[in-house]
Amino acid sequence: MRVVGVTDLHGRYHHLEKVRQYKPDVLVISGDITNFARDLKVIDYLRYLQKEGIKIFAVPGNCDTLEVIDRINELGINLDGRWVKIGGIYYVGIGGSNRTPFNTPNEYSEEELYFKFINTVKEIGKNIRGRFILITHAPPFNTMADRTLEGNVGSVAIRRII
């Protein structure tokens, strides 16, 4: 099974054409599908990829608005606060981000992010330690992945989870 993961498309659907060349069975998108709901053509392209037989799972990022969340719900690909099992591996989705200095539309408290994860894995009903892949947009706090000019902006909750 071929799984391809992407993030931060910000509406640039032409990047998905490159992904399509790899002929993935599964496409996982870790947020910022659009840039504040501009360039919604990316949603149409995701529908096209689904029709080609590619399974798609996505979580919204901090720049994805309620309109985008509604659209990915309509496509049946929103993994935020949900899980799916593919090839013996659980994919657990935590969308949005922790509160940041950027004041984007899809931000949550650290507690909300942590309990979204806890409630999601409770649904699985098993000890999944080491047998899941966390699909999230928020990077863990104080890592190379969360450095900006504003300092470290990652999530303490995500760091705790991993």
State pLDDT tens for residues 104-127. 999 999 999 999 999 998 888 766
Q: How many domains does the chain have?
A: 1
pLDDT at 122: 87
Owning domain of residue 30:
3-161
3-state secondary structure at position 89 = strand
With CA atoms as reference, report the closest residue to 128 among 81, 161, 95, 151: 161
**Domain at 69, CATH number:** 3.60.21.10
User: For residue 103, what are the CA distances in angstroms to 6, 38, 63, 134, 141?
Assistant: 23, 17, 9, 24, 17
Mean pLDDT score of the chain: 94
pLDDT at 128: 72
Interatomic CA distance for residues 159 and 156, integer angstroms: 5
pLDDT at 126: 66
State pLDDT tens for residues 69-114. 999 999 999 999 999 999 888 999 999 999 988 899 999 999 999 9
